[in-house]
A = this chain, B = another copy of it.
Amino acid sequence: MNFKKIAIIGLGLIGGSLALAIKQTGFKGSITGIGRREENLITAKELEMIDDYSTVHAEGVKDADLVVLASSTGNFKDIMNNMKPGLKTGAIVTDVGSVKASIVRTLDDMMPDGVSFVGAHPIAGRECSGIDCASADLFRDSKCIITPSPRTVDHAIDNVIGMWETVGAVTLHMSPEEHDLIFAAVSHMPHVVAYAIINTIMDVNPNILHFGGTGLKDMSRIALSPAELWRDICSSNKDEVLNVLKKFSSTISDLIEKLQNSDWPGLEQEFNKAQEARKLIESD
């Protein structure tokens, strides 16, 4: 990596894991942790994730070659405003948000002259959140989507790609809009559905959840994800999530109709179609 100083804003699961992973590569530069809660930053220093820390954005990013936004996406705009005075010319800002179009649009507009923004989304996560869940291996063999806009500078893209590949991720490129359409389908909709499954069961009878086997547990594991995170994702990617949820809703209505009409061959055909498709990703 060509960086001497990396600043990571937000040391939760993703930010903390990234810091640990970079340290593990034998990175010779320094990592500064930035966050609101000093307690968390002290823990990060004790875990040797970071070399130093600051609770003041403009101070923490001083002299940083790379700034990674790894806090809640809802705070990116405020954070950008706060850190702006400290950013050096030539710095690269990147993020790890699960939604890209609105973030790239907003941050592209806010970058000072001589500072480049590169949107990125590492596809790595767990239901567990916070610094205690951070792991140096989180990104190993995972995908990281890089979402350049027409305004993104090539050398900045290369540097961000370099960092992700160093920590073991495979990088892919797509536009922020294409990213949001795809992830509304493969990630955002399934999360909303996981919450809906649990709430439906509780609605039937609040005392029966424990009768579920490993199938239900696997299926609803992502309902353990932080509610605020998924509220923010739904809000930032509202149109695409709505689109996919409506498609999902009509898939369900169609299955209900087949069940109502005792159309067993039709129902089996739908189940079969899904089973065949699901097999394709089993070995991934």
Residue of B nearest to A239 (CB): B259
Given A209-B186, A222-B215, A235-B262: A248 touches B200 (CB 8 Å cut-off): yes
- Which segment, of A28-36, A45-53, A189-197, faces chain B? A189-197
Copies in the complex: 2
- The chain B residue with its CB closest to the CB of A273 is B199
Supply 17 A–B pairs (Cβ within 8 Å), ascending by A.
A183-B211, A187-B213, A187-B215, A193-B219, A194-B274, A195-B255, A198-B278, A199-B277, A200-B247, A204-B247, A218-B219, A223-B271, A226-B275, A227-B271, A231-B271, A235-B262, A249-B249
* A206 proximity list for chain B (CB < 8 A): 277
List of B residues within 8 angstroms of A279 by Cβ: 224
Contact A251/B189 with A230-B271, A256-B246, A270-B195 known, Cβ cut-off 8 Å: no
Task: Check A124 for interface membership: any CB of B closer than 8 A.
Answer: yes
- Say whether B262 contacts A256, CB under 8 Å: no
Q: Which residues of chain B come closer than 8 Å to A222, judged between CB atoms?
A: 215, 218-219
Contacting A196 at CB < 8 Å: which of B183, B195, B218, B248?
B248
A-B pairs, top 5 by smallest CB distance, nearest first, are: A227-B271, A195-B274, A186-B212, A198-B274, A231-B268
